[in-house]
Structure 1
């Protein structure tokens, strides 16, 4: 049997909510449909944000303490709901899922790195799709490092992914000049990171904590590990398949 190519898909809160105030079950169905269609050729590992966004649908928390504690409490409430939604929808497509919560400190210890690799390989080899998120309840790294972009890059590097896809709300990275004149034009292929950094017009997403700057930094981490990165518009239906078939503009960082 030919070995399947490994894709690490990072999907952020803004994409999962389709830029609304609620997690979009339709977007998760879109993910499941594509993975089911591609599963004979590709194996998937997902780094998914969205726990805080889910919790905000159910509760409103007040605290006199720092906002970070409210976010961590919301993550604790929302994470089980997020995984339940994934499980319910993916099961309809014959897909099995599992939950993995990681912290950045896990990537600094050799023993932890080996444990992550071995555990996720067992899951994937038994046809489970790991749904990874940061352990927000005890860690503050997501707020510091961006909307799971760096976590996705570190995971893609550690697990030797063939492809790292960052699903965002733009058609990849736009040139600075095109942004300034109001006619966004996608940089379709990147060969020089230093040149790319000069093109960044950074902005934060409405629900996520990242922006294009954090995506470039994540792509650079993956690049150092020899992992190709695609930055694609995850708001569109069938975005993975369409990107593979070059039906949509996106940024490819070889």
Structure 2
């Protein structure tokens, strides 16, 4: 048994498109009904539940007469606009059978992590909890661009789990856990528990199904995000959700790390798109890695990209490897005037950090 899972009082469950559709690609209402039954029961026992769901585009494949999931962005967004209504109607009807109301929240990764918007999302979900309503979150595929191309509801679910300070996150799909090799490889065995993701050396190349877009790699990244946020993660098959919620040994468990990282730094590490690249010398690289020092202009040899103060950039070592990411304390234009100069040369008694160590995430 996994008591920390069975006793979770705040739970986020993510289900993929393949777990909600039949062989013909259409939305399978029987699967939706079963999911509603399990989550309604969980709420009735006193837990607060958030459902992060894929399936909007898949729900529209049948009604629109499409043979498969569309590949071009325009048709994807049109299908999402049609399918989102069909999907939430199916959920509303299914949960109503158990006397539970649901609410639809269409979000993007940026909505969850940007200070100007994440608090609104948190306040809305918190109020829904108090009203006894189950929030159903989906990515806003009708306007998303980068996210819709890569199908990243796994990452969104991990960030939602951090947002609501969940005890456990369940990433449920058509794969029953992480394996020592590709699941089709003879002799491959399910990994029951992963204590250190950074030491994981397994094949995560398995791609998503014909109606989904995620793969094992996106799920491991999501588990990394969530465990850094202090959340337990179970990765498993949707048919095993009831057993997973009960704490049985199904799927793969990722225990939480002890230290909960600030939300802004999680966004920096896992969601932000770098606006520029700072190439540093050996001395600066050593100071960053060994002493976790702040980055000064004196250690920067080249600046690429155009960025404003406060935007995310990547730090590149002399060997070309990424050292980490950080929020810059000055614009690219300001930085070029101080590039490679010492404090005295720059005319400062004290040179301000280009990236303060508290605004930086180092690569594993």
Following TM superposition, by how much is the alpha carbon of 1:245 offset from its aligned partner in structure 2, in angstroms? 3.7
For the aligned residue pairs, the C-alpha RMSD in angstroms reads: 2.2
Residues 189-240 of structure 1 deviation map (CA, whole Å, 9 limit, x = unaligned): 0011123243424322221111000000111111111111101110x2xx33
Name the CA shift for 1:247/1:159 in 2 (closer, same or farther; >3 Å). closer
- Bigger RCO of structures 1 and 2 (CA < 8 A, at least 6 apart): 1
Following TM superposition, by how much is the alpha carbon of 1:140 offset from its aligned partner in structure 2, in angstroms? 1.8
Q: Which runs of 5+ in 2 are unaligned?
A: 1-6, 256-364
Equivalents in 2 of 1:121, 1:77: separation in Å? 28
Residues 6-35 of structure 1 deviation map (CA, whole Å, 9 limit, x = unaligned): 111111101111454111111111111112
Equivalents in 2 of 1:190, 1:19: separation in Å? 32
The structure with the greater share of residues assigned to helix is 1
The 10-residue stretch of structure 1 (35-44 or 208-217) with the greater mean CA deviation from structure 2: 35-44
Equivalents in 1 of 2:62, 2:76: separation in Å? 14
Residue aligning to 1:69: 74
Paired residues in the alignment total 245
Q: Which runs of 5+ in 1 are unaligned?
A: none
Residue aligning to 1:232: 236
Residue aligning to 2:29: 25
SS in 1 for 2:190: coil
Residues 25-80 of structure 1 deviation map (CA, whole Å, 9 limit, x = unaligned): 1111111111222222321101111111111111147xxxx811110010001101
Residue of structure 1 aligned with 2:98, choices 93, 96, 102: 93
SS in 2 for 1:45: strand
The 10-residue stretch of structure 1 (109-118 or 17-26) with the greater mean CA deviation from structure 2: 17-26
Following TM superposition, by how much is the alpha carbon of 1:103 offset from its aligned partner in structure 2, in angstroms? 1.4
- Where do residues 91-170 of structure 1 align in structure 2 (5 Å cutoff)? 91-170=96-175
Equivalents in 1 of 2:14, 2:63: separation in Å? 25
Residue of structure 2 aligned with 1:174, choices 179, 197, 208: 179
Name the CA shift for 1:217/1:4 in 2 (closer, same or farther; >3 Å). closer
Equivalents in 2 of 1:22, 1:160: separation in Å? 34
Equivalents in 2 of 1:138, 1:200: separation in Å? 29
Residue of structure 1 aligned with 2:196, choices 179, 192, 198: 192
Equivalents in 2 of 1:178, 1:146: separation in Å? 22
Name the CA shift for 1:177/1:14 in 2 (closer, same or farther; >3 Å). closer
Contact 1:16 1:23 in 2 (8 A): yes
Equivalents in 2 of 1:248, 1:15: separation in Å? 20
Following TM superposition, by how much is the alpha carbon of 1:104 offset from its aligned partner in structure 2, in angstroms? 1.9
Contact 1:179 1:185 in 2 (8 A): no
Residues 131-169 of structure 1 deviation map (CA, whole Å, 9 limit, x = unaligned): 111111111233344341111111111111110100111
**TM-score, normalised relative to structure 1:** 0.89
Name the CA shift for 1:178/1:59 in 2 (closer, same or farther; >3 Å). closer
